[in-house]
Copies of this chain bind each other. A is one copy, B any other.
Amino acid sequence: MVSIISVAKAAGVSNKTVSRVINGEPHVTEETRERVEKAIRDLGYVPNMAARQIRSSRSNTFGIITDYVSTTPYSVDIVRGIQDWANANGKTILIANTVGSSEREATIWKMFQSHRIDGVLYVTMYRRIVDPAAGDVSIPTVMVNCRPQTAEDWPSIEPDDFQGAQDLTRHLLERGHRKIGYIRLNPILLGAELRLDAVRQTAREFGLADSDLSIRLGMEGPVGAEENYVFAAATEILQQRDRPTAIMSGNDEMAIQIYIAAMALGFRIPQDISIVGFDDFRTVSMALKPQLTTAALPYYDLGLQGAEWLNRVVAGDKIRPSRRVLACNLIERDSVCSV
């Protein structure tokens, strides 16, 4: 492989001068610079990151450690956000998946160490509280879509499930819906409770009685192997005597079954029954007919801002507050109408 020395020879200068040109340092004649640049081009020289790192002891690399994110369809946008930021800022990204194993997690931290990673983004697929097995390792870390169980040593950045569900509920209430069905997310998920609370609270603010809300459990059990009650729950809600005019789904995926349940009973969407989702998982929300009104999880921005934040932490900034929350914007499509 062609090294800085061959370039120096070809250009008739010292290796240090080549280094200066490569790193855009000042104090190089325009003429020398051009000569060096020509030599670089002619020889096809590409700097060796490993050598650079070993000397400067900064790897310019961030690690992403995640449960399943990068291998699961749901939250890939977090990774995209991180990559875009890294890309724009000349950082390299290393991704590793724990797949839920804490043994594997320990291995990953070691691996990160051996690559002398500058910082870590700890990302989870579902928003949740975690207890990272970092062990003795101390690398600057920012948590994305999750937060630490114990002390707030590490900054975290999360979606605002509460506000998202609030907006969605208001959207319905402002369109005259006074009886609303809600099919709950798996209670294991942190978002489940927040979303449900928001629905309840907002309904109350608009003067609804608790009995105006038909709340049913949609899923239950360990993530990836849950029991699915959505279809049955939707069917039951829709067959009530004084049935709701709108159903809120714990997420977009569950909305598929609500659509099907509604149609099986002969209801038209949205004329007979309005439906909203949550997440804006587009493969579903845009494939449904009519397209689904939902609240978008700010995954891309979570990743982008998480990376940016980590960069600041690595640089030594002490940033407050150490917990940040990003809005879930309402995406209005065609599954809701006024009553």
Contacts and interface: CB of A to CB of B under 8 A. Distances in A.
B283 A253 contact: yes
Interface stretch (A29-37, A256-264, A306-314): A256-264
A13 to B, nearest CB: 21
A53 interface: yes
Range of interface residues on A (Cβ < 8 Å): 35 or more
Contacts of A77: 71
Given A281-B283, A283-B281, A76 B83 contact: no
A70 interface: yes
A148 B236 CA distance: 54
In the assembly, how many copies of this chain are there? 2
Contact of A57 (B1, B261, B289): B1
A113 interface: yes
A54 B50 contact: yes
A231 interface: yes
A58 to B, nearest CB: 11
Interface in A38-60: 44, 46-51, 53-54, 57, 59
A285 to B, nearest CB: 11
B93 A95 contact: yes
Interface of A: 1, 44, 46-51, 53-54, 57, 59, 70-74, 76-77, 79-80, 83, 87, 92-97, 110-111, 113-116, 136, 231, 253-254, 256-257, 259-261, 263-264, 266, 268, 281, 283-284, 287-289
8 contacts: A49-B116, A50-B115, A71-B83, A80-B97, A260-B288, A260-B289, A263-B264, A283-B283
